[in-house]
Structure 1
Amino acid sequence: MAQYITLEQAKDLPFWRRPVALLFLMALAMPIAFNTWSALLNNFVIEVADFDGADIGLLHTVREIPGFLAVGVIAIIIFVREQVLGLVSLVLLGVATAVTAWFPSMGGILTITMLSSIGFHYYETVNQSLQLQWLKIEDAPRMLGWLLAAGSFATLIAYLAIMALWETLSLSYNVVYLAGGGVTVVIALFAMLAYPQFEAPTPQNKTMVLRRRYWLYYALQFMGGARRQIFVVFAGFMMVERFGYEVHEITTLYLINLVANIIFAPLMGRAVGYFGERRTLGFEYIGLVLVFLSYGGVYYLGWGVVVAAILYVLDHMFFGLALAMKTYFQKIADPADIAPTAAVAFTINHIAAVFLPVGLGLLWLVSPAAVFFLAAGMAGISFCLAMLIPRHPAPGNETIFSAGYPQAAQ
């Protein structure tokens, strides 16, 4: 029988069995499977299934459908605890990743991608909810930065193994996928057995929550999801298609991103705590405008592979500042709204993701630079939205238009 304890009672447990330790364990487990899949994906689909830009767009549209349906988490948590659902989702992600190479056809790749995506998106939805419920508001920016760094460290180990052993041992896609997915499954099963069920202080609403006062958070999520698709789908694909990057070279690029995250993610968390969400997100979006415009320059001006690689690393680092959206919502939310709003926000985040990759995949065939110029415009809109966040967000002071803004801004 599962053991249920409150967060206050959990303080008496050994440190490794406390809620924060479980968050770190899950932060280590998920990226191993997901980023192993991502690191090999572009080379795998091009070499095995002869994908072009339109095909990769279709694949990522399929991958994002479960994110669009993440609102279904609200129905599931009526019957299944969030903590259990998160770990079961990790198992599904790991298993689907492990068997990816067993299905080398277009239909097989799309099917297994759908399954792994269900695991990934349902895990991410629940994980965001648990983070905001289990972490204190004053500690959240710093801890979220460290959680991001922990995930990067786990992925770093996986990428180092791929980079060192891919050519040396002539590894196959099957071996690497089995190893990456298998490790995630083992960690998730251990967490199911080793940790009690933690009770958050505030019972969560188990119905869909759409509140007018959260509109800015919803808008930021929508724009973030649309903009993120261009990076996830096309930035790495550009490195393979235009510059002929091989698996170990793509992995090296990811490796640099991870080292940067390990070093800078905790600093990003501190920056959010010190400068506030408005300034931090504004800095992120201005940086992304410049990066995406420069991506276009890679095509129009003929800039070389070194410039493209530098832009890729900067792009990845700027996205790390998006943790400020989590802390912004934590500050303005009714504590009982965290779980259902996490699900709704994930669905909003993926509205554009369902149709954007396919449409932009077709645009890519005509003008890759236009895809990145469109992303720069999206980042500009996000900057305008970020400027609507008050200096001190709180319930009743959600935007600069809220009644409490003049007092809170002083």
Structure 2
Amino acid sequence: MYLFLLVLTITTAAGFQGWRTLFNNFSVEVVGINGQQMGILQSIREIPGFLALLVIYLLFLISEHRLAALSVIFLGVGVGLTGLLPSFAGLIFTTLLMSFGFHYYETLNQSLTLQYFDYSTAPIVLGRLRAVYSATNIAIGVVIFILAKFLNYTQMFICMGGLVVVGGLWAIIQDPSDKNLPVQHKKMILRSRYWLFYALTFMAGARRQIFMAFAVFLLVKRFNFTVQEVTVLFIINNVLNYFASPLIGKAINRFGERKVLSLEYLALIFIFLTYAFTESKWVAGIMYILDFIFFNFSIAIKSYFQKIAHPKDIGPSMAVGFTINHIVAVIVPVVGGILWMTDYRIPFFMGAGMSIVSLILVQFIKNGAMVP
């Protein structure tokens, strides 16, 4: 299972990082979208995450590992078609297709990891997979930086998408499953004792959308970052995260989820406020790098849930968690995009406020369990 998830993580990283690196510049330079349209696109991108709950019912028809492989294939097709449909409507269609693949794979990836690895091993595995994800992002960033001089956007999207499809086709004929593991519930699971996991997941989804929808858009729209400069930032991010992600997993085991998440949310308050007030291109770029690093601390939410969850609840709960994560995520980019048109700083004030709420919530975690 580790090898299976490793290959699909590399494949998914290649596709999503390639798409994300090119998307903002392609949208602005070729399609010519504005801030409000970007907000709409980012909200549409999160609809499949909101519908991640449907994964539970798809498992009646197909096994978890094969659905994971099929999801990666959808991701690749969506990425490959992006450059072929250079219009706002085209971006809506390809973003939806890509996003269904990405979000469904991420749901199943988390489920399989928490099922197949124990309490102390799971944070390490999650950290290692994040490190491999980052290493792949570095490679893709270097490739795009070079290819941008020779290929147009359409050709680069096709190359990235084709690579992902090949990885998904390999995975769909593999069988890494263990028949001795507890059979997962194939129904929606909502339990009151998981309330803190739901609340932290909800806030993380809302806050993350500020980062995903507006951080790079800020760099491109306000500070005129080129596609090469955005790619350099991605490479720096992933070099740092290659080394940092395994350390985060170890830190969770050593210090506990409460301290790790508290550090994340304190840092994010500062980062979002700096986004709002800085006039420096390079300060904004540094904040983006820090933002990217602290994003990986969110694996502590998953390891916390593993410690309080019944083993049979993990699969459906990951699907429910993804849906909860995307309830506000569908709304935030649209609202943020409208507010951006009034003052670009407002979405980042929203992000700081969300981080404060998360910081308060995380104080209810104590030694991997909720405070009585």
Instruction: Give the TM bin, normalised by the shorter chain.
Output: over 0.9
Q: Give the match for residue 297 of structure 2.
A: 321
Structure 2 residue aligned with 1:266, among 246, 256, 271? 246
Partner of 1:305: 281
Does the 8 Å contact 1:28/1:154 carry over to 2? yes
Match of 2:361 among 359, 378, 385: 385
Alignment deviations for residues 218-277 of structure 1 (CA, whole Å, 9 cap, x no partner): 000000000000000000000000111111111111111010110111111111111000
**Which runs of 5 or more residues in structure 1 are unaligned?**
1-18, 394-398, 403-410
What CA distance in whole angstroms lies between the structure 1 residues aligned with 2:296 and 2:368?
A: 21
1:236 maps to a residue whose letter is V
**Is 2:58 aligned against 1:58?**
no
Instruction: Determine if the alignment matches structure 1 residue 254 to structure 2 residue 230.
Output: no
Provide the residue aligned with 2:349 in structure 1.
373
CA separation of 1:352 and 1:192: change in aligned 2, threshold 3 A: same
Is 1:347 the counterpart of 2:323 in the alignment? yes
1:152-191 correspondence runs (5 A): 152-167=134-149, 169=150, 171-191=151-171
Q: How does 1:8-407 map to 2 (within 5 A)?
A: 19-167=1-149, 169=150, 171-199=151-179, 201-298=181-278, 302=279, 304-393=280-369, 399-400=370-371, 402=372
The size of the alignment, in residue pairs, is: 372
| Structure 1 residues 123-182: Cα deviation after superposition (integer angstroms, max 9, x where no partner) | 111111001001111111111111100011111111101112312x2x111111111111
**3-state DSSP of counterpart to 2:170:** helix
SS of residue matched to 1:234: helix
**Aligned partners of 1:316, 1:392: CA distance in 2, in Å?**
25
Per the alignment, do residues 76 and 194 of structure 1 end up closer, same or farther by CA in structure 2, a change over 3 Å counting? closer
Deviations 1:189-217 (A, max 9, x none): 11223444433611100111000000000
Tell me the distance in 1 between the aligned counterparts of 2:8 and 2:261.
26
Instruction: Please state whether the residue corresponding to 2:366 is helix, strand or coil.
Output: coil
Letter in 2 for 1:349: N
In the alignment, the residues of structure 2 paired with residue 190 and residue 198 of structure 1 have an alpha-carbon distance, to the nearest angstrom, of 19
Cα distance between partner residues in 1 of 2:337 and 2:18 = 23
Please show how residues 1-12 of structure 1 align to structure 2 within 5 Å.
Answer: none
Provide the rounded CA distance (Å) in 2 between the counterparts of 1:112 and 1:295. Answer: 29
- Give 1:359's aligned amino acid: V
CA distance in 2, matches of 1:323, 1:283: 13
Aligned to 2:178, what secondary structure does the other structure show? strand
Return the TM-score normalized by structure 1.
0.89
Give SS of 2:224's match: coil
Moved over 4 A (4+): none
Q: Structure 2: how far apart are the matches of 1:31 and 1:342?
A: 20
| Structure 2 Cα separation of the partners of residues 119 and 156 of structure 1 | 22
Query: Aligned partners of 1:290 and 1:92: how far apart in 2?
Result: 37
What are the superposed Cα offsets for residues 306-342 of structure 1, whole Å, 9 maximum, x if unpaired?
1111111001101111110110011100000011101
CA offsets per residue over residues 58-109 of structure 1, 9 Å max, x none? 0011111111111011111122111110100000001111111111111111
In structure 2, give the amino acid aligned to 1:122. Y
Larger-gyration structure (1/2): 1
> For the Cα contact (< 8 Å) 2:147–2:156, is it kept in 1?
no
Output the CA distance in 1 between the equivalents of 2:204 and 2:246.
Answer: 21
SS at match of 2:331: helix
Query: For 1:335 and 1:78, how far apart are their aligned partners in 2?
Result: 19
Amino acid at match of 1:390: K
Preserved CA contact (<8 Å) 2:258 2:368: no
Structure 2 unmatched runs, 5+: none
CA contact (8 A) 1:98 1:182 kept: yes
RMSD: 1.0
